[in-house]
Amino acid sequence: MTKKVDFPNADYSLQWLYRDPDQHIYEDYNTIGVPDERIFEDIHRVLEILHAAQLLIPVNLNRSKKFEFSGTGIDDIVAEIRQWVRSRVIKQKLSIYGHGIVKLPNGEEAVQKDLVQLADVRFTERSFKITTAKTIWVPVVLDDTDNYNWQIGLAEQNAPRLENCLAAVFHKLKLEVTPGLEEEDRSKPVWQKGFKLYPSREAIESAYIEDPPPPSFDIAKYLLPKTQANQ
């Protein structure tokens, strides 16, 4: 039996927004209340990718026990979602929650609730987010006591899985994504550039002072260049 873990949530969410800029083709929802079939196709494709990587095994919609899925098959899950939406029980948008598998440095696997979500799937436009509030994807994090801790093995096991899924969704659906492939977001303690996640320079520099990592650790691949503002 796979054990369960509970890595803490950050007080912020990391997210990637996928959307179709050509919005006029989805106006029917506002008049007849029926989403374009491409919305359900998107849900199916994204869930297939996330489920295959074991990052999101869907359990329910909008964190409500009222909308728990009756099985784990993607075809059946999308059919249930379509039924709820067509009957107008779910309106405007939905989010899909569940659990995922975390690969541990010792080679074991563990179940983590709410590892990744498919969030804010809208019916008035072709738009959704892939989000996570976990910070297992980077090699150094700030803990509850404001100390920086290394988790190199955890990041190296799991970060590529998330990055590959985000890229697969982008190439499969061919939607615009924010942050873009070369766009940076340094507004949170974990920085984003495209589909990659990086610890902030403050985290790396502080961790090196408090407790340097093993000399074999290649920090270069986790560094974003300094901006003109902080050079």
pLDDT above 90: percentage of residues in the chain: 64
The Cα–Cα gap between 46 and 158 comes to: 18
pLDDT for 29 equals 67
pLDDT for 66 equals 86
231 pLDDT higher than 60: no
Of residues 21, 43, 18, the one with CA closest to residue 178 = 18
Single pTM value for the model: 0.92
Q: Which of 27-36, 47-56, 210-219 has the highest mean pLDDT?
A: 47-56
pLDDT for 146 equals 74
The Cα–Cα gap between 28 and 23 comes to: 11
pLDDT digits (tens, 9 = 90+) for 148-181: 889 999 999 999 999 999 999 999 999 999 999 9
